[in-house]
C-alpha cells in the first residue's frame, strides 16, 4: 500500500492552533499512533508525513503540522515551517476547538483561498467542547460548514474521511498522463535509457518507470533501448515509431540518429508537463538567451539526493549554461523545501524534474517566480536550449513551442 511514489500522492495537511487536536485526528484517521498526542501545547514541532491509501482517492500523504498561535520562543519559526507546508498541500484541513477565532485561522483560510485550495473545517473534541461563537460567526461569513469530530469517541471521523474524498480535486485523483496521449492507440514509442554512472544500479529511475506504465495504461507500446542500440532498433522497425523519448543526457546523439519527421522529446520534458506547466517552462527557457556576466541563476531541486562527481544539476547544467552564455554566471542551488521566498535578485530559475514531489509544489514555485517577474524553466528544457535543439524537442507540444517561440530570438 505504501509503494506509490510520494510525488504521486495527494497531500492532505492538517492545520490549526496548538492543542486543537490535529495529531489526534491524524491518529484517528489512520488508526495508528502516527503523531505524539499530549495535553502540552506545541507537542508537534515539525511537519510529520504519513503515507496512506484513502479509497477511492488512492494514495495520499497526511501531513501533521506544528500548531499555529504558538507564543513560545520557537513558535514563530515553527509557524513558518507549518505555513510552508501549504506549498505542497492539495487539500487543507483546519481544526478548530472551543478557543475564540484567531488571526491565524483567518490567515490560513485566506491563503488557501488565494491558492484555490479546497479546505475542510473540523470542529474537534466534540465530546468536551463546542465551537466558540466567534468561530461560528467567522465561518458563516465565509460560507464554510464544519465536520464535527471526537478523536476520543470516534464520532465524525468517518464523515471527515468522506468530506475529504468529496473535496479532493478531481484533477489530482486522475493519474497524470505522461505520454500515451501523444501517440495513436496501439502507437509505438521508443524509449532511450542510457546506463551511465548516474543510472541507479539494477533498476530504472522513476520517470522512466512511470512512462512505461503510462504507455501500457494507454494501450500503446514501448521499446526500451540504450542510446548505442537506437540506430539498429530504428533500422529493424518496419515503420518509424510515433515518438522517441530520451534521457536528456543523450539528447544530441539521439536527435542526430532519429529521422527529421519523427517526433523526439525527453523524459524530463514529459515530466515537466505532468508535474508542472510545460508552457510556462518553455516560455522561461527564453530567459537563458538573456543571461549576462555575473547574473544569478537558481537551480532548484525538490529532493536532497547525494550529488555524484558529474552531477547534472551541480556540474553539467552550470557548465552548459556558462558555455551557452559565453560568460561567467553565479549559479546557486536550493534543495528540498529550501526554495527562497525572495527571488528578486535572480535572473533565472531552473527546476529539476520534481519526481519526488507533487505537481502542486511545482505550480506554486512557478507562481512565486511569476509574481517576482523571474523566468522559470526546467532541467530538460534548459539542456535542450543550451544544446540548440529546443524547438525540435518541443514539436510534440505546439502550445509550449509557441510559448517559447514568442519570447525567443533564437531560430534554432
Query: Interface with ligand GTP includes 24 (CB under 6 A)?
Result: yes
Query: Interface with ligand GTP includes 358 (CB under 6 A)?
Result: no
Closest CA to 86 of 403, 400, 337: 337
Scanning 125-174, the segments in alpha helix (DSSP H) are 133-141, 157-167, 170-173
Query: Interface with ligand SF4 includes 61 (CB under 6 A)?
Result: no
Rule CB under 5 A: choose which of 8, 26, 44, 88 binds Mg ion.
Answer: 44
188 phi, psi to nearest 5 deg? -115, 130
CB of 153 to ligand GTP, least distance (A): 7
30 vs 43, beta carbon nearer Mg ion: 43
Query: Interface with ligand GTP includes 121 (CB under 6 A)?
Result: no
Closest CA to 401 of 243, 256, 269: 269
DSSP code of residue 40 = S
For ligand SF4, the binding residues in 329-358 under the rule CB under 6 A are 352-356
CB of 206 to ligand SF4, least distance (A): 7
CB of 339 to ligand SF4, least distance (A): 12
Q: Is residue 313 a contact partner of residue 352, using CB atoms and an 8 Å limit?
A: yes
225 vs 352, beta carbon nearer ligand SF4: 352
Residue 127, binding choice from Mg ion, ligand GTP, ligand SF4, none, Cβ under 5 to 8 Å by partner class: ligand GTP
Under rule CB under 6 A, how many of the chain's residues touch ligand SF4?
9
| Distance between CA atoms of residues 116 and 95, nearest Å | 19
14 vs 271, beta carbon nearer ligand SF4: 271
Q: Which three cell numbers stand for residue 228?
A: 548505442
Strand 48-54 vs strand 58-64: parallel, antiparallel, or unpaired? Answer: antiparallel
Task: Measure Cα distances from 313 to 168, 261, 297, 334, 382 in Å.
Answer: 34, 31, 12, 10, 11
For ligand GTP, the binding residues in 142-171 under the rule CB under 6 A are 150-152
| Distance between CA atoms of residues 256 and 55, nearest Å | 47
Query: Interface with Mg ion includes 19 (CB under 5 A)?
Result: no
CB of 355 to ligand SF4, least distance (A): 3
Q: Which three cell numbers stand for residue 153?
A: 469517541
| Distance between CA atoms of residues 289 and 131, nearest Å | 57
**Which residues contact ligand SF4 (rule: CB under 6 A)?**
301-303, 305, 352-356
**Which residues contact ligand GTP (rule: CB under 6 A)?**
16, 18-24, 37-39, 41-44, 67, 124-125, 127-128, 150-152
Amino acid at each position: 500500500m505504501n509503494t506509490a511514489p510520494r510525488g504521486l500522492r495527494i497531500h492532505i495537511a492538517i492545520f490549526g492552533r496548538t492543542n486543537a487536536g490535529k495529531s489526534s485526528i491524524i491518529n484517528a484517521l489512520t488508526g495508528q499512533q502516527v503523531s505524539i498526542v499530549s495535553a502540552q501545547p506545541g507537542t508537534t514541532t515539525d511537519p510529520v508525513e504519513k503515507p496512506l491509501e484513502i479509497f477511492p482517492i488512492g494514495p495520499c500523504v497526511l501531513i501533521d503540522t506544528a500548531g499555529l498561535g504558538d507564543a513560545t520562543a520557537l513558535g514563530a519559526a515553527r509557524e513558518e515551517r507549518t505555513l510552508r507546508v501549504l506549498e505542497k498541500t492539495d487539500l487543507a484541513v483546519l481544526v478548530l476547538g472551543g478557543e475564540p477565532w484567531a488571526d491565524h485561522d483567518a490567515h490560513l483560510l485566506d491563503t488557501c483561498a488565494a491558492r484555490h485550495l479546497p479546505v475542510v473545517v473540523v470542529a474537534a473534541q466534540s465530546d468536551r467542547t463546542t465551537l466558540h461563537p466567534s468561530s461560528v460567526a467567522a465561518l458563516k461569513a465565509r460560507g464554510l460548514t464544519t465536520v464535527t469530530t471526537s478523536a476520543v469517541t470516534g464520532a465524525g471521523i468517518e464523515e471527515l474521511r468522506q468530506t475529504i474524498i468529496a473535496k479532493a480535486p478531481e484533477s489530482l485523483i486522475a493519474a497524470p498522463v505522461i505520454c500515451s496521449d501523444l501517440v495513436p492507440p496501439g502507437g509505438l514509442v521508443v524509449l532511450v535509457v542510457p546506463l551511465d554512472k548516474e543510472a541507479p544500479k539494477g533498476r530504472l529511475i522513476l520517470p522512466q518507470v512511470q512512462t512505461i506504465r503510462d504507455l501500457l495504461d494507454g494501450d500503446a507500446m514501448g521499446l526500451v533501448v540504450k542510446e548505442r542500440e537506437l540506430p539498429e532498433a530504428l533500422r529493424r522497425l518496419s515503420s518509424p515509431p510515433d515518438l522517441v523519448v530520451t534521457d536528456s543526457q543523450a539528447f544530441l546523439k539521439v536527435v542526430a540518429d532519429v529521422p527529421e519527421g519523427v517526433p523526439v522529446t525527453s523524459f524530463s520534458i514529459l515530466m515537466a508537463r505532468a508535474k508542472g506547466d510545460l508552457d510556462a517552462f518553455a516560455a522561461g527557457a527564453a530567459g537563458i538567451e538573456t543571461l549576462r556576466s555575473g547574473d544569478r541563476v537558481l537551480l532548484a531541486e525538490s529532493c536532497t539526493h547525494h550529488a555524484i562527481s558529474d552531477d547534472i544539476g551541480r556540474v553539467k547544467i552550470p557548465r552548459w549554461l556558462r558555455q551557452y552564455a559565453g560568460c561567467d554566471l553565479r549559479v546557486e542551488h536550493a534543495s528540498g523545501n529550501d526554495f527562497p521566498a525572495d527571488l528578486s535578485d535572480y535572473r533565472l530559475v531552473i527546476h529539476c524534474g520534481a519526481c519526488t514531489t507533487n505537481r502542486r509544489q511545482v505550480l506554486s514555485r512557478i507562481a512565486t517566480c511569476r509574481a517576482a517577474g523571474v523566468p522559470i524553466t526546467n532541467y530538460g528544457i534548459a539542456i535542450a536550449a543550451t544544446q540548440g535543439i529546443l524547438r525540435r524537442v518541443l514539436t510534440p507540444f505546439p502550445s509550449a513551442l509557441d510559448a517559447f517561440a514568442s519570447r525567443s530570438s533564437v531560430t534554432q
